[in-house]
Amino acid sequence: MEASSNPQFSKLPPISAKLFEAKKAKKLSFEQIGKHIGRSEVWVAALFYGQAKPTETDIHKLSVVLDCPESYLNHDVGSDYFPDRGGLMSVPPTDPTLYRFYEILQVYGYPLKAIIHEKFGDGIMSAIDFTMDVAKIENPAGDRVKITMDGKFLPFKKW
Amino acid sequence: MEASSNPQFSKLPPISAKLFEAKKAKKLSFEQIGKHIGRSEVWVAALFYGQAKPTETDIHKLSVVLDCPESYLNHDVGSDYFPDRGGLMSVPPTDPTLYRFYEILQVYGYPLKAIIHEKFGDGIMSAIDFTMDVAKIENPAGDRVKITMDGKFLPFKKW
Amino acid sequence: MEASSNPQFSKLPPISAKLFEAKKAKKLSFEQIGKHIGRSEVWVAALFYGQAKPTETDIHKLSVVLDCPESYLNHDVGSDYFPDRGGLMSVPPTDPTLYRFYEILQVYGYPLKAIIHEKFGDGIMSAIDFTMDVAKIENPAGDRVKITMDGKFLPFKKW
Amino acid sequence: MEASSNPQFSKLPPISAKLFEAKKAKKLSFEQIGKHIGRSEVWVAALFYGQAKPTETDIHKLSVVLDCPESYLNHDVGSDYFPDRGGLMSVPPTDPTLYRFYEILQVYGYPLKAIIHEKFGDGIMSAIDFTMDVAKIENPAGDRVKITMDGKFLPFKKW
Amino acid sequence: MEASSNPQFSKLPPISAKLFEAKKAKKLSFEQIGKHIGRSEVWVAALFYGQAKPTETDIHKLSVVLDCPESYLNHDVGSDYFPDRGGLMSVPPTDPTLYRFYEILQVYGYPLKAIIHEKFGDGIMSAIDFTMDVAKIENPAGDRVKITMDGKFLPFKKW
Amino acid sequence: MEASSNPQFSKLPPISAKLFEAKKAKKLSFEQIGKHIGRSEVWVAALFYGQAKPTETDIHKLSVVLDCPESYLNHDVGSDYFPDRGGLMSVPPTDPTLYRFYEILQVYGYPLKAIIHEKFGDGIMSAIDFTMDVAKIENPAGDRVKITMDGKFLPFKKW
Amino acid sequence: MEASSNPQFSKLPPISAKLFEAKKAKKLSFEQIGKHIGRSEVWVAALFYGQAKPTETDIHKLSVVLDCPESYLNHDVGSDYFPDRGGLMSVPPTDPTLYRFYEILQVYGYPLKAIIHEKFGDGIMSAIDFTMDVAKIENPAGDRVKITMDGKFLPFKKW
Amino acid sequence: MEASSNPQFSKLPPISAKLFEAKKAKKLSFEQIGKHIGRSEVWVAALFYGQAKPTETDIHKLSVVLDCPESYLNHDVGSDYFPDRGGLMSVPPTDPTLYRFYEILQVYGYPLKAIIHEKFGDGIMSAIDFTMDVAKIENPAGDRVKITMDGKFLPFKKW
Amino acid sequence: MEASSNPQFSKLPPISAKLFEAKKAKKLSFEQIGKHIGRSEVWVAALFYGQAKPTETDIHKLSVVLDCPESYLNHDVGSDYFPDRGGLMSVPPTDPTLYRFYEILQVYGYPLKAIIHEKFGDGIMSAIDFTMDVAKIENPAGDRVKITMDGKFLPFKKW
Amino acid sequence: MEASSNPQFSKLPPISAKLFEAKKAKKLSFEQIGKHIGRSEVWVAALFYGQAKPTETDIHKLSVVLDCPESYLNHDVGSDYFPDRGGLMSVPPTDPTLYRFYEILQVYGYPLKAIIHEKFGDGIMSAIDFTMDVAKIENPAGDRVKITMDGKFLPFKKW
């Protein structure tokens, strides 16, 4: 199981191990869980990795799809839970799958900032009012990963 | 001008300052330059920041649109030029526009890896056979930045 | 002059040295400049340190109060200028005045996060849609520094 | 529960876990505990996170409001206890809520130092003779977080 | 046994300790295991160190050669397992055997990049579509280690 | 030209810039220079990057092939010159071509050490009594980079 | 001269080089300068190293003892000058004289904190309302350095 | 109790926890223990924090004053014990009481070195042949901490 | 006992704790053990700290002198054991005894390299084909530590 | 010339470049200079690298052997000069010749500390009252580098 067989998962909250175990026992993908609870698979994975907070409804639906007592989830990720985000990976990440995203930022970071400034002005793309999706584009020359990020533009306030 | 008025641009190759000056003098956006030379605005910005290598045709078209001698560009970014990529930003980036992308990686990195593995198997999204685009989505509640990354999936070889 | 007699000011863009010189020649405080151009003294100082972008009106008013050619300011911090923020200080800051703010974050960071979560829910205080002010509270037992930060609460989006 | 479900809470002293558990069992906010014991909610949260030292009276009142034996609190945070402050967060903090405060320091640190110097002279705002408060300002365009810091100005001694 | 008597092996997933124990009990070298399962000894060692993912056939053959229940291996490195690669060594590595490879990169890195660029153009040698072998070349003046790396050349995409 | 148009080349000794300029003017590859002076192209590139020391004969032949005064080379890389090796790249390297070699070490380092130990015993592969070659293997599915390292095995001395 | 012949003095403000030159030309020790201007030699040295701010009277007396125009000092360290303290040394310091103080902190830091807490309660010794002196204690078994630090105790405020 | 309720005390040797517990049970200050065994309170605290080695006589006297079996102390800090000093605090220290000493070194380090050199010549103050004391100076404007360090001057040997 | 009473010994392999315990129980110095097994005391200490690999004969002799079952040693440091060297100390080392060696390298490193180059040419002193000894030179002005390192010179190969 | 053709020599004081130039012009080795002035070649090299302070007699003899005006040397390394030691190399050193010494410390540091403690008790080998020599031991199987360090033992003071 992912959560227990990789040492860095010791950085995850205890609930994560239980969620991953339930997912494995039910043989469900993140996409399938997402469809059951009406959320994106990326957000569901973020929840499993301790990076998102579910609503009461999310908890109820999760308890159904994972066949896991609602009280149990409420205790660990209920209303008084707040994720302490980030910090799972070393910097720079050593895993090649993660590193490539870091490299993209190293190589295309300033070009990206310049384009955002030309299109929007002085500000940022929010990482809070933000969604991300991953699609598989089949291609005979090799399938392609297509990642879409969508964040609100926030202009710097002057005062 | 961006290149000269920000101290970290001292990390750019000398050709960058000249490209930014020519762009400023011609009052062209990266999008406009991209359209003239038949490249994406992100790739053009990457070229200006010393992160991409142009073809001979790119150099010819750039010399036209920027009104800059072709021999001059050939000397600095011609056939025997190879970019030494990355290294422009501190890690983590201090600039808020850049930092948000870093934060997205910190928060959503493992979820992203998990989804890629579920959809594709054991491998990575290439950062070399890769393109990226930025779009502005107008929205009365606040415009949104939409970034699309498209990279070839590369499975880990077994031998 | 501050800008030239402290070595770390080499990290500032060239325009900063000129702004500080003009301010010194005119014997103006940031508060006085702020009143002339209708901005907070903190924002004005941020502009001098290369951390903010002025509007055309700001540039016009600055040129008047600092007795400095408008074309000159337009060249360096005009419409196609975007600040590359952060990066001025070492981390942690070595200067005692700056360090105390860093220490406050070290000591009261998690308490602050907990209180924000109890009052607002899962989210952040924006550092973009944000203002800050500094007041001097006279007190016979020793004057006090009163700093007020005011940022929009941004809830984490679920999707 | 916050203390047990987030891995970094392993950095807190054992008493913290017990305080958070008692708070959860009694369904009290920091604000409510603060009102019961006559302290600010920020200071109470600092105490829970091992960043403050209670008086005997604080301990007595805490034992009442949390329904927790006084002898128990005296053993762990009694007269011979001294907090070993700081060190809870990584630097820079990975959590977005905490990071924004760090970013404010990166961007507005030197401007803040300059304003303090103009208003007070050569010295610092104390982080010891210091209080901090957090208020929620309701606003139809989005609620705002208002943080007030109040610290004694200390001039550098000459000798 | 390697896995248990060296402290840094605490960074390996639990399955690694079991694989090393089985290997020791059966007194098999990586080369011998590789021959049994039809894989390179380097790849087999990578699997033991948690850096590769086996196919179902690999798992079956491993269970035979190591005399270890297939269900057991399937639980830990089966279809829903994905290695979290890298991160085993400190950087730079302190062990002299590992450090020499790091030193080769420090000394011959740019020469290597220059030669690749002269022979292939602007791109990289893939570390994913990649194999590596180690041979012992006997020599009366001292045996020599011969390491062969073979990776696909990937040209940087322009777009 | 590589040496002058990439900022990190400021870390190279002055002779490097001159060698790169002469090479560019003569339109020679490292392979061609190597053939002229009877050395491997990798070693020649190492010399250009300040990582190797030439013999008097090397200097003589280099002065012929590069059409560069021998006295000039003798002054900078003559008998009393000793390279101060390493230090050209940041760690980890930000350039993708260089990073892939670093990643190979991160992922396959311990497997490599284990195989060396199984084949040779307790010791290291020398990085001093060492050669390296790069070959281009043409392949319709994509050309491949083949790198061969050959170093003397040195057993740890017991005393 | 100290300021110019040691490379790390490039971190000092320009005025420092001039002060050190004047001191050398007049063959004065810090103790002698201190006696002339009525300040401790440690404080005078701090001023020369850019770590303290002089009063108008200090500037006047310095100009006399160093035979240096008052207007000149006023320009660089006059009323609108504020030192940007710290940052002169690497951490940990490489120079043995400086390192020993760092080592004392490493070894005796917690003991020092414990003794302060036992004698004074929960608080700090101020580094702002602070003086330091250095004395030479002659001793036939080897002279001894005696350093006295004197700082105001500041108790942590509760609120 | 200090040793057990602060997480960083996990870095102390096991004997430390026992010494702190015995001290707490006997309600003794370091000063009182120091008087009983004829040592400075700072040295006693250093012993408790694993930074000093006691003589046999020290161990005997400690066992009496702490009411703790001598054999027990002999086992852990007896003749074959050698402290592994330093390493208790993070660098820079996050605790404000400790940080102020670090800040003093940052700000007054070079001035201190300059004064030592002017008074003694080229050398260091020993941190080994060294003592330190802490005194409380009562003062109606606020009590003051007075720290005295006394170390042998060691001149750099020439050979 | 050294191994158990110092926290950093948690970095040693489990066999180390057992070797140190046996040494303590037998009241043997490293010098005495070395004489029994025919090895230098430094090499014996290196073995205890997990930095060397014993031969079968060494294991046999160790089992005799330490009165420890041979099978036991064979299991942990037998033929399939390979030390994972380095990594015991923090860098720079915090312990003063270790730090002084680090300081010698900081201060005398380049002089040492220059002398080696003048005497031997372009190459290194091997740390593998290497021995080290420690002698006590009695001296009425204070005993002296004399350390002798003896390593094979390895010239850089040209190819 | 060493000083000017290696980029890291920019960290040396200006006098170093001049000393190296004079040495090169006179074609003298450090050993020869050492014999002329009656100092060890290692100490002479340390002086050239800015790590030692000469006496007046040393300066006089140096001016003779290097044919360099005495007033010139007095200005830069005369009586009011104090070396700011260390800081020349990166940590860990990237140069293989320097790295091997660092590796010896990593591998044999704790063994060395243990032997010193067994032979001398609780203390350090001084790096100040210290000499070092380098000898070439000719050997048909490969010459050997023999380095001898000799430092005063300093016991930790108790007080």
The CATH code of the domain that includes E23 is 1.10.260.40
* Interface touch B158/E113, C-beta < 8 Å: no
Report how far residue I143's alpha carbon sits from residue J154's, in angstroms, rounded to the nearest whole number.
8
Give the C-alpha separation, B106 to B109, whole Å: 6
Tell me, yes or no, if B88 comes closer than 8 A to chain C by beta carbon.
no
H-helix or E-strand spanning residue I73: helix I70-77
Chains D and G touch each other (3 or more Cβ pairs < 8 A) = yes
* pLDDT of amino acid G3: 41
Q: Of the candidates G94, G103, G107, which has its C-beta nearest I106's C-beta?
A: G94
Annotated catalytic residues of F are 100, 103, 126
Q: Is the pLDDT of residue H113 over 60?
A: yes
**Percentage, residues of chain D above pLDDT 90:** 79
Please check the confidence at residue B69 and state whether its pLDDT lies above 60.
Answer: yes
Name the least confident of D16-25, D127-136, G58-67, J25-34: D16-25
- Using 50 as the pLDDT threshold, list the residues of chain A that sit under it: 1-5
Cα separation, G144 vs D126, in Å, equals 35
Ordered per-residue pLDDT tens for chain C, 159 residues:
344 445 556 678 888 888 999 999 999 999 999 999 999 999 999 999 999 999 999 999 999 999 999 988 988 888 889 999 998 998 899 999 999 999 999 999 999 999 999 999 999 999 999 999 999 999 999 999 999 999 999 999 999
Residue for token pair 């400049």: C33
Measuring CA to CA, which residue among C123, E8, H11, A9 is closest to residue D7?
Answer: A9
pLDDT at D9 over 70: no
The tens digit of pLDDT for each residue in G130-140 reads 999 999 999 99
| pLDDT attached to residue H61 | 97
For residue G75, the model assigns a pLDDT of 86
Mean pLDDT computed over D28-46: 97
Q: For residue range B17-40, list pLDDT tens digits in order.
A: 889 999 999 999 999 999 999 999
Per the prediction, chain I carries an average pLDDT of 92
Sheet holding D123-137, edge to edge: C123-137, C144-155, D144-155, D123-137
CA–CA distance, F83 with F77 (Å, rounded to integer): 8
Position G89 in a domain? no
**Is H92:H102 a contact under the CB 8 Å cutoff?**
yes
pLDDT value for B8: 54
Of H39, H58, H128, the CB nearest to J154: H128
Q: Do chains F and J touch (3 or more CB pairs under 8 A)?
A: yes
Q: How confident is the model at residue E76 (pLDDT cuts 50, 70, 90)?
A: confident
Q: Write down which residue in B77, B112, B130 finishes a domain.
A: B77
Mutate to test the interface with D, among G122, G131, G133, G134 (most CBs of D within 10 A): G122
Does the distance separating the beta carbons of A92 and F92 come in below 8 Å? yes
Burial code (b: 16+ CB inside 10 Å, e: under 16) for I139-158 equals eeeebbbebebbbbbbebbb
Of residues J110, H132, J106, H145, the one with CA closest to residue G103: H132
**D12 and D61 in one domain?**
yes
Q: Cβ neighbours of residue A32 under 8 Å, at least 6 residues apart?
A: none
Q: What is the DSSP letter of C22?
A: H
Give the model's confidence band at F15: pLDDT under 50 very low, under 70 low, under 90 confident, else very high.
confident
Question: J: neighbours with 3+ CB pairs under 8 Å?
Answer: E, F, G, H, I
**pLDDT grade for G11, boundaries at 50, 70 and 90:** confident
Residue I85, pLDDT above cutoff 60: yes
Verify that I108 and I55 share a domain, yes or no: no
Q: Which residue of B has its CA nearest to F27?
A: B80
Q: Percentage of chain G surpassing pLDDT 90?
A: 79
Q: Would you call G90 an interface residue with chain D, using a CB distance cutoff of 8 Å?
A: no
DSSP letters, I113-150, are: HHHHHHHH-SEEEEEEEEEEEEEEE--TT--EEEEEEE
pLDDT of residue E36: 97
CA distance C143 to chain D (A): 6
Say if G127 is an interface residue toward chain C (CB within 8 Å).
yes
pLDDT of residue D113 exceeding 80, the answer is yes
Domain check: are F12 and F67 in the same one?
A: yes
Nearest CA in chain C to B6: C13
User: Looking up tokens 């901490």, which residue turns up?
Assistant: H145
Chain E residues with CB under 8 Å of A96 CB are: 85-86, 127-128
Mean local confidence (pLDDT), F58-70: 95
**DSSP states along G74-143:** HHHHSTT-----S-SS-SS--SHHHHHHHHHHHHHHHHHHHHHHHHH-SEEEEEEEEEEEEEEE--TT--
- Say how far apart CA J77 and CA J81 lie, in whole Å: 5
Residue of J nearest to G23 (CA): J80
Question: Half-sphere exposure of residue E36, counting CA atoms within 13 Å on the CB side?
Answer: 19
Query: Is F2 an 8 Å CB contact of chain B?
Result: yes
Would an 8 Å CB–CB cutoff place B103 in contact with chain C?
A: no
Q: Do H101 and H65 share a structural domain?
A: no
Tell me the torsion sign for CA atoms J108, J109, J114, J118: positive
Supply the range of the domain harboring residue B125: 96-155
Chain J positions in Cβ-Cβ contact with residue F87 (cut-off 8 Å): 8, 90, 94-95
User: Cα(D159)–Cα(H20) distance, rounded to whole angstroms?
Assistant: 39
The answer to whether residues D72 and D101 belong to one domain is no
Residue J30 lies in a domain: yes
Q: Does F68 fall in a domain?
A: yes
pLDDT above 60 (res G1): no
- Residue E87 forms part of a structural domain: no
Give the mean pLDDT of chain D.
Answer: 92
Of D92, D94, D103, the CB nearest to B96: D103
D140 preceded by a cis bond (ω within 30 of 0): no
Neighbours of chain H (3+ CB pairs under 8 A): C, D, G, I, J
Q: Are residues A142 and A132 in the same domain?
A: yes
Residue E100 has pLDDT above 90, yes or no: yes
Enter the tokens of residue J38: 């009656």
Q: Please, are residues E38 and E47 in contact by the beta-carbon 8 Å criterion?
A: no
Question: Higher confidence at residue F1 or residue H40?
Answer: H40
Domain match, F117 and F68 both? no
Q: Are A11 and A47 members of one domain?
A: yes
- Which chain G residues contact residue H93 at CB under 8 A? 105, 109
Which position among E56, E85, E90, E100 bears the catalytic label?
A: E100
Neighbours of E139 (CB within 10 A): 10
Q: Choose the most confident range, by mean pLDDT, from A13-27, G70-84, H63-77, J98-112.
A: J98-112
The reply to whether residue D6 touches residue A80, judged by beta carbons under 8 angstroms, is: no
Please give the pLDDT value at position G2: 42
Residue F4 has pLDDT above 70, yes or no: no
Percent of chain F with pLDDT over 70: 94
Query: CB B2 to CB C81 under 8 A?
Result: yes
Q: Between chains, do E103 and J92 touch, taking CB under 8 Å as contact? A: no
In the predicted structure, residue B7 carries a pLDDT above the cut 70: no
**Between E and F, how many residue pairs show a Cβ–Cβ distance under 8 A?**
241
How many structural domains does chain J have?
2
- D63: pLDDT strictly greater than 80: yes
Given this model, what pLDDT does residue H11 score?
A: 76
Q: What is the pLDDT of residue B4?
A: 46
Task: Report which DSSP code applies to A60.
Answer: H
Q: What is the pLDDT of residue F12?
A: 83
Q: Do E158 and B55 count as a contact with CB atoms less than 8 A apart?
A: yes
Q: Do residue G106 and residue I94 have CB atoms under 8 angstroms apart?
A: yes
Give the best residue of D16, D51, D76, D85 to mutate against chain H (max H CB count within 10 A): D85
Give the predicted TM-score (pTM) of the model: 0.94
Give the pLDDT mean for E81-85: 93
* Of the partner residues A113, A129, A156, the one whose CB lies closest to the CB of residue C157: A129
On the CB side of C28, how many CA atoms lie within 13 Å of its CA?
Answer: 24
D77 near H CB under 8 A? yes
J92 touches chain G (CB under 8 A): no
State the pLDDT at residue E1.
35
Question: Domain holding D105: CATH number?
Answer: 3.30.1160.10
- Interior angle at CA D73, CA D69 and CA D78, nearest 5: 140
Has residue B118 got a pLDDT over 90?
yes
pLDDT in tens, F147-158: 999 999 999 999
What is the Cα–Cα distance from I23 to G44, expressed in whole angstroms?
A: 56
Q: What's the mean pLDDT in J94-109?
A: 97
Q: Residue J19 — left, alpha, or beta (φ > 0 → left; ψ -120 to 50 → alpha)?
A: alpha
Q: Which residue has the higher pLDDT, J8 or H99?
A: H99
**Spatial separation of the C-alpha atoms in residues C159 and G38, rounded to whole Å:** 69
Q: What is residue A4's predicted lDDT score, i.e. its pLDDT?
A: 46
CA distance B137 to A148: 13
Residues F105-120, mean pLDDT to the nearest whole number: 96
Option in J5, J8, J93 nearest F14 (CB): J5
Q: Is A145 helix (H, G, I), strand (E, B) or coil?
A: strand
Catalytic, J21? Answer: no
Q: Which amino acid is at I146?
A: K
- Place D7 in a pLDDT band, splitting at 50, 70 and 90: low
Q: Do chains H and E touch (3 or more CB pairs under 8 A)?
A: no
Of J55, J123, J128, the CB nearest to H124: J128
CB of A51 closer than 8 Å to CB of B111: yes
Residue B91 falls inside a structural domain: no
**The tokens 């260089």 sit on which residue?**
F98
Residue among B144, B148, B150 whose CB faces A152 most closely = B144
pLDDT(I155) > 80: yes
- Mean pLDDT, residues E71-87 taken together: 89
Both H144 and H98 in one domain: the answer is no
Q: Give the CB-side neighbour count of residue F54, counting CA atoms within 13 A.
A: 28
**Which residues in chain J (9-68) have CB-CB distances under 8 A to chain H?**
39-40, 42-43, 52-53, 55, 58
Which chains does B contact via 3+ CB–CB distances below 8 A? A, C, D, E, F
Contact: D131, G83; criterion CB under 8 Å: no
Of E15, E85, E128, the CB nearest to A5: E15
Q: Identify whether residues H46 and H72 lie together within a single domain.
A: yes
Q: Is I115 on the interface with J (CB under 8 A)?
A: yes
Residue D84 lies in a domain: no
The answer to whether residue I126 sits within a structural domain is: yes
Report which DSSP code applies to E30.
H
I6/I73 same-domain check: yes
Does H76 sit within 8 Å of I6, measured CB to CB? no
- Element (H or E) spanning D137, and its range? strand D123-137
Angstrom distances, CA of residue C133 to CA of A36, D147, E38, F69, J83: 48, 11, 70, 66, 46
- Chains near E with 3+ CB pairs less than 8 A apart are A, B, F, I, J
B71 given a catalytic annotation: no
| G57 and G123 fall within a common domain | no
For residue I129, is it within any domain? yes
Whether B contacts G, i.e. 3 or more CB pairs less than 8 A apart, is no
Q: Which of A140, J89, D38, H37 is nearest to I105 (CA)?
A: J89
Mean pLDDT computed over every residue of chain F: 92
* Per-residue confidence band for E4, with pLDDT thresholds at 50, 70 and 90: very low
pLDDT in tens, I104-131: 999 999 999 999 999 999 999 999 999 9
